[in-house]
Amino acid sequence: MSETKQMEALVWLGPREMKMQQAAIPQLHPGEVLIAVRAAGICGSELSGYLGQNSLRVPPLVMGHEAAGEVIQSAGGTFADGSPAHIGTRVTFNPLVTCGECDRCRVGLTNLCRQRQLIGAHRPGAFAQFVAVPAVQCYPLPANLSDTIASLTEPLACSLRAVKLTQVQPDQSLLILGAGPIGLFALIAARAEGIKRVYVSDLSESRLAVARQWGATETINVQKQDVQATIQKITPDGVDTVIDAVGANVTRAQAVQAVVPGGTVVFIGLHDETSSLATNYLVRQEITIRGSFSYDQSDFKRAFDLLAQGLLQPGTEWLEERPLAAGPSSFAQLVDGQVTATKIVLRIN
Ligand SMILES: [Zn+2]
Ligand SMILES: [Zn+2]
């Protein structure tokens, strides 16, 4: 037997337990490429995973599904854009591996694939020197797109889908509850789609400052302001559409109260497992409630194209880059609310 080559990896070992360890470099299957990871963002879903509250993630596990890096080995195949999977190409990748054959895939709902696998949950992820990914999931980066910004394609794709599902029109209004990464990315996604009136609520003044910088029409600090009363002042009839990027009982109730009769509320946040809602009110006001989960290929491609066009520039207030070795302390600080930046991206190699 040949000796398995080793790499440095950030391994999650159980609730609140994460360590830098040696791990085997992934072996490639036909059609896969090995990526030397350069940048990998920490996702909110991984924080619940870190705490052991996410059944999708079983230790020991290398997480990391928001990443970019350089292809250093190829087992054939083509990239998402149809070009041959060449070594030396910088790429980001769609971490949601789908079967393409089940009933959900066949109707285009690949995000709901019956056999879907997430790199960094069902397969080893990108918080490591190397990650194996099907070539067809990889998007070659233009020279002007940095690895760090490219690693944000995945969360932006989640936000884009939520905005798409609201069906908000440019002359309509959108309220986003929560200015974490998904809420803030929904804001820029909505602005990119030409939505002019976008209101954002949060309890953090620094996050709301980022929201204003990114074009929020109004921000609501829920520590000082009542969401419904403030919305009534801004737009007396209510908002046309709402995205709840928190998913707490209180924000779900706020979403329903703020929307106009006949309006649409999209739930993307996953804070509380169950919530009780004013269901008879939903019936009488014909309010549409939709869930939004991850993204399909078109959402991912759209997010990638927007970033390639320069939608996001690194900024000190919202993005913090740290070395991979700072992974364990970063996870601990994030779950304990000790990080001011909206997003942490780990830099590798
Ligand atoms: Zn993510
Ligand atoms: Zn499928």
Q: What is the CATH number of the domain that holds 221?
A: 3.40.50.720
Q: Do 140 and 168 lie in a common domain? A: no
**Is the C-alpha dihedral spanning 262, 266, 272, 273 positive or negative?**
positive
Would you state the pLDDT for residue 1?
Answer: 45
Angle at 263 (CA atoms; ends 258, 265), nearest 5 degrees: 70
Q: Please, which residues have CB less than 5 A from ligand 1, an ion?
A: 43
Would you state the pLDDT for residue 63?
Answer: 98
Q: Do 22 and 61 lie in a common domain? A: yes
Q: Do 25 and 129 lie in a common domain? A: yes
**324 part of a folded domain:** yes
Would you state the pLDDT for residue 314?
Answer: 79
Would you state the pLDDT for residue 55?
Answer: 85
Q: Do 148 and 14 lie in a common domain? A: yes
Would you state the pLDDT for residue 180?
Answer: 94
DSSP designation for 110: G
Q: Do 238 and 185 lie in a common domain? A: yes
Q: Do 162 and 192 lie in a common domain? A: yes
Ligand 2 center–CA 205 separation, angstroms = 42
Ligand 2 center–CA 103 separation, angstroms = 7
**296 part of a folded domain:** no
List for the chain the helix, strand, coil content (%; round to 5).
30, 30, 40
Instruction: Output the pTM of the full model.
Output: 0.96
Ligand 2 center–CA 300 separation, angstroms = 17
Ligand 2 center–CA 297 separation, angstroms = 13
Task: For residue 101, give the CATH number of its domain.
Answer: 3.90.180.10
Q: Do 284 and 316 lie in a common domain? A: no
Would you state the pLDDT for residue 3?
Answer: 60
Q: Do 115 and 33 lie in a common domain? A: yes
Number of the ligand closest to the Cα of 108: 2
Residue 7, CB half-sphere, CA atoms under 13 Å: how many?
24
Ligand 2 center–CA 116 separation, angstroms = 6
**303 part of a folded domain:** no
Q: Do 218 and 237 lie in a common domain? A: yes
Q: Do 245 and 322 lie in a common domain? A: no
Q: Do 64 and 93 lie in a common domain? A: yes
Ligand 1 center–CA 1 separation, angstroms = 37
**283 part of a folded domain:** yes
What is the C-alpha separation between 116 and 101, in angstroms, rounded? 11
Residue 280: domain span: 156-291
Contact present, 269 and 159 (Cβ < 8 Å): no
Ligand 2 center–CA 99 separation, angstroms = 4
Ligand 1 center–CA 155 separation, angstroms = 5
Would you state the pLDDT for residue 315?
Answer: 78
Number of the ligand closest to the Cα of 117: 2
Q: Which residues of the chain have pLDDT under 70?
A: 1-3
Number of the ligand closest to the Cα of 111: 2
Would you state the pLDDT for residue 349?
Answer: 76
Phi, psi angle pair for 184, to nearest 5°: -65, -40
**238 part of a folded domain:** yes
**297 part of a folded domain:** no
Q: Do 138 and 43 lie in a common domain? A: yes
Number of the ligand closest to the Cα of 63: 1
Number of the ligand closest to the Cα of 270: 1
**245 part of a folded domain:** yes
**299 part of a folded domain:** no
Ligand 2 center–CA 296 separation, angstroms = 12
Ligand 2 center–CA 82 separation, angstroms = 21
Ligand 1 center–CA 137 separation, angstroms = 15
Count: domains in the chain? 2
